[in-house]
Structure 1
Amino acid sequence: MASRDGGQSARRPVWVNPLFGAADPASGITTVPPRHRLPDGPAAPATVSRLIRDELMLDGNPRLNLATFVTTWMEPEAHALMAGISDRNLVDRDEYPATAELERRCVPMLGHLWNAPDPDASVGTSTVGSSEACMLGGMALKRRWARRDTGRRAAGARPNLVMGVNVQVCWKKFCNYWEVEPRLVPMRGDRFHLGAEEAAERCDENTIGVVAVLGSTMDGSYEPVAGVCAALDALEERTGWSVPVHVDAASGGMIAPFLDPDLVWDFRLPRVASINVSGHKYGMVYPGLGWILWRDRDALPGDLVEHVDYLGGDVATFTLNFSRSGSQVVAQYYNFLRLGHAGFSEVQGALRRVATHLAGQIEDLGCFRLLTRGDQLPVFAFTTGDDVTRFNVYDVSRRLREWGWLVPAYAFPPDREDLHVLRVVCRNGFSLDLADRLVDDLRGLLPWLRRQSAPIFGPDDATSFHH
């Protein structure tokens, strides 16, 4: 037991709950294990597992996390499938050809979904999330720009990439890591994402491309991809500058094809060179999976593809990461077979219905103003009404956390930093019943919030912003 003699306790062993111990001290844990170095010896697997599970109880409930876009629920069969093949290294295609084949099948499936010119010959790959996919798309854009005019490149011209200020941070990382000038289009008034004309105005002969986001992280709205392409068509007619478009469809790439089939945003637009999606978002796979497809082989410069032969056979690779488990890819293939087009349409349609219902219920509370309504991505943002002075979005976020709900509060980027919002992401597993429970809990908090004389929390107390 711990000593109560002041300084002596720091030098004496501290016993843990005896239930974690074992009859044989060599197989149990009888003292608190070190946190920042390896323990001196091994311990029983069950004991270590229990200790770690106790630590993880401090995490929030993933199903009540309305901040994250990533999947927090999968069917038990998919769960078991992933666990059974987590030891398959996806890059080792010679040893695990069946796993590699499932990845190859997923690429043309996405090609058909996104109307590639020749879907069965689609060029693409899986990645570790959309961040890696965006890096690959950006690298291809820069390499193609460099080849257009070697004289300009030799003269020290700096490439630039045009995008809305609302893009996910991975695009800012790309510009930083690959020495590309980011040209960010700020928000204006009620335009919370990239505008078509605003994008074209920032392009010049050194623009490697424009990034259009199908489903903004900030508020769930679609950017006008077709409008951006039309504005760039007009720009090319005036100047001769041919600027390609990459569509960051991290979320919308698995929503729009099923719920908005008449929306033209994909490879039907000749200017769209590449598209990425997060399989671990509305592809409904646990975190760790993205996809990127190029329009055709000409859109992916061949010198970005490396070949290795030390895994037992020739392997072509054009990802930034190398070894990784094939379990997420197999889970994606499971979802494709399990749901099919009709199943995905049903699931995503249900999510949109939940989102629009929830947005309407929150609006009916009378003290919140909706910025979006969940009728594009099943995601919406809202803020407090102009007449609400006793509390703010940060107070609401903190109070909801006490009930187990994780709803992020944050400020919009330039030039709308004055706008502070809450955002709700509806994912598979978030039912209408849970949505109504959230409204009930929010309604129950309002009397307490209205008793405040002024807001208590502010931007410095904001919850983490999750992609």
Structure 2
Amino acid sequence: MVLSKTTSQLDESVHSTFASRYVRHSLPRFTMPENSIPKEAAFQIINDELMLDGNPRLNLASFVTTWMEPECDKLIMDSINKNYVDMDEYPVTTELQNRCVNIIAHLFNAPLGDGEAAVGVGTVGSSEAIMLAGLAFKRKWQNKMKAKGKPYDKPNIVTGANVQVCWEKFARYFEVELKEVKLREGYYVMDPEKAVEMVDENTICVAAILGSTLNGEFEDVKRLNELLTEKNKTTGWDTSIHVDAASGGFIAPFIYPELEWDFRLPLVKSINVSGHKYGLVYAGIGWAIWRSKEDLPEELIFHINYLGTDQPTFTLNFSKGSSQVIAQYYQLIRLGHEGYKCIMENCQENAKVLKEGLEKTKRFNIVSKENGVPLVAFSLKDNSSHTEFEVSELLRRFGWIVPAYTMPPNAEHVTVLRVVIREDFSRTLAERLVSDIEKVLQELDNLPSRVRMKLAGSEETAGKHDDVVKKTINDVQKEITATWRKFAADRKKTKGVC
């Protein structure tokens, strides 16, 4: 079953733009063609379609890295044919992964002795890392409950309602109840007091987020550790913490080094981080780091020997590319602590420029916090005439991809726009974005006015009869809605080009 929808069902063929140069017959869209075509034609057909994708540099919805240095690009292409799982054939790649694990573990203040190797693994992204960490917690809890002769069929995890969808996937795929702390207006992260209240004997861990997807805010992991320690002493449980540092793991150590969120806190047993976010690597790399060997059950590690030697593996997938692992090591040694710090501070400064520009319009409330991931989340002060979704839609005309979304329970009535500030988002782009937002707001302000003028004109022509006035008032919203629908339909005909 294909889960995603195709954009068009009007034509089941793919046509070459310059057919006479390469091919004269169209290609089937959803079945394999009978004959081969020239490589130039295949390239051109695909390249022409890809032109309609968004510009990654202007995709302000994504946390994922969209630019790397040419030297790293070359390393990636030179290693793109290496299968990472073949550790015996590519031992240097395995060594580079192990170096990355140890560098990141030290960055997160893992309690390692002299010469002691860190415990961790490279993953396809933070989603896989979270699945692996969750499985480790679940298995440890099950073993503990079995030893006590207690039921072990109803595990749960306590999180905030602001967690990323991968946590919901883990809960559903691996049959773990997800107990969510609801949000409230003005407080869009997990409340540690409420989280600890929800912990029971079946809780395998509490998941805290260092950098909420919704507004970039860091959750108070230190306070959570304190409250959970007290509860463990009272109940005799040993409930631990996992930190989802997908977005903030490569930010906090450089900008907020004194912030205690990592392995400095005794109950933090595992941390995941996305190398392809502020780790500054292209999409496809994450890391799962454990506090010690005791926190990763040996029974979850598989040993294989049919690739040449005995190889331990703890991943959800098998084959994967080596390029992103190599790229991560490049960034770690190329930039060093100084380089990462400079980049993160620059992102933070550009976020401040954008925030100040939006505040000057006097049209927005800033939802994001000063301390956290460098992003700006904001909402309209008055959305009675037009909404954040309409602002997001019209910004696409300028090439900007700025997401609009509603907050999770119990703050669904709050809608926000969000701009993620990455390394390649400059101050100039921030100023341009503010200018384009002002243009969009002006256009939105004028559109309802034209509708009201039209209605006022028809009212005057009708002699202001009471029944006409009543009908006009009742139909104002319908007229505006119809105008917007026509406007959207016209844009679709021109693919958003004016």
Asked if Structure 1 and Structure 2 have the same fold, meaning a TM-score greater than 0.5 normalized by the shorter chain, the answer is yes
CA distance in 2, matches of 1:208, 1:238: 17
CA distance in 1, matches of 2:363, 2:408: 23
Of 116-125 and 299-308, the range deviating more from structure 2: 116-125
Any conservation in 1 of the 2:217–2:369 contact (CA below 8 Å)?
Answer: no
- Residue 169 in 1 paired to residue 165 in 2? yes
Between structure 1 and structure 2, the one with the greater Rg is 2
Structure 2: unaligned runs, 5 residues or longer: 1-10, 449-476, 489-498
Task: Name the residue aligned to 1:287.
Answer: 283
Task: Name the residue aligned to 1:380.
Answer: 376
Task: Name the residue aligned to 1:29.
Answer: 23
2:75 to 81, 84, 109: 81
2:93 to 90, 99, 103: 99
Q: Secondary structure at the match of 2:100?
A: helix
CA distance in 2, matches of 1:424, 1:154: 48
Q: Mapping of 1:4-403 within 5 angstroms?
A: 16-17=16-17, 19-22=18-21, 28-118=22-112, 120-150=116-146, 155=151, 157-373=153-369, 375-385=371-381, 387-403=382-398
Task: Name the residue aligned to 1:464.
Answer: none
- Aligned partner letter, 2:110: A
Kindly state the Cα deviation for residue 40 of structure 1 after the two structures are TM-superposed.
1.1
1:449 to 430, 433, 444: 444
- Aligned partner letter, 1:78: C
When residues 299 and 91 of structure 1 are mapped into structure 2, their CA distance, relative to the original with a 3 A threshold, is same
Kindly state the Cα deviation for residue 177 of structure 1 after the two structures are TM-superposed.
1.0
CA-to-aligned-CA distance 1:257-283 (integer Å, 9 cap, x gap): 000000000000010000000011001
Kindly state the Cα deviation for residue 373 of structure 1 after the two structures are TM-superposed.
4.2
Aligned length: 442
CA-to-aligned-CA distance 1:213-267 (integer Å, 9 cap, x gap): 0000011000111111111011112211211100000010000000000000000
Kindly state the Cα deviation for residue 156 of structure 1 after the two structures are TM-superposed.
5.1
Of 431-440 and 153-162, the range deviating more from structure 2: 153-162
Q: Secondary structure at the match of 2:396?
A: helix
Q: Secondary structure at the match of 2:98?
A: helix
Kindly state the Cα deviation for residue 20 of structure 1 after the two structures are TM-superposed.
4.3
CA distance in 2, matches of 1:38, 1:352: 48
Kindly state the Cα deviation for residue 154 of structure 1 after the two structures are TM-superposed.
5.4
Any conservation in 2 of the 1:352–1:375 contact (CA below 8 Å)?
Answer: no
Any conservation in 2 of the 1:72–1:286 contact (CA below 8 Å)?
Answer: yes
Give the RMSD, CA atoms, in angstroms.
Answer: 1.9
TM-score, structure 2 normalization: 0.86
Kindly state the Cα deviation for residue 137 of structure 1 after the two structures are TM-superposed.
0.5
- Aligned partner letter, 2:265: L
Any conservation in 2 of the 1:285–1:328 contact (CA below 8 Å)?
Answer: yes
TM-score, structure 1 normalization: 0.91
CA distance in 1, matches of 2:50, 2:283: 18
Any conservation in 1 of the 2:62–2:420 contact (CA below 8 Å)?
Answer: yes
Any conservation in 1 of the 2:16–2:44 contact (CA below 8 Å)?
Answer: no
Of 322-331 and 153-162, the range deviating more from structure 2: 153-162
- Aligned partner letter, 2:27: P
CA-to-aligned-CA distance 1:322-369 (integer Å, 9 cap, x gap): 101100000000101110000000011100111121012111111110
Task: Name the residue aligned to 2:416.
Answer: 421
- Aligned partner letter, 1:262: E
CA distance in 1, matches of 2:178, 2:84: 33
Kindly state the Cα deviation for residue 58 of structure 1 after the two structures are TM-superposed.
0.7
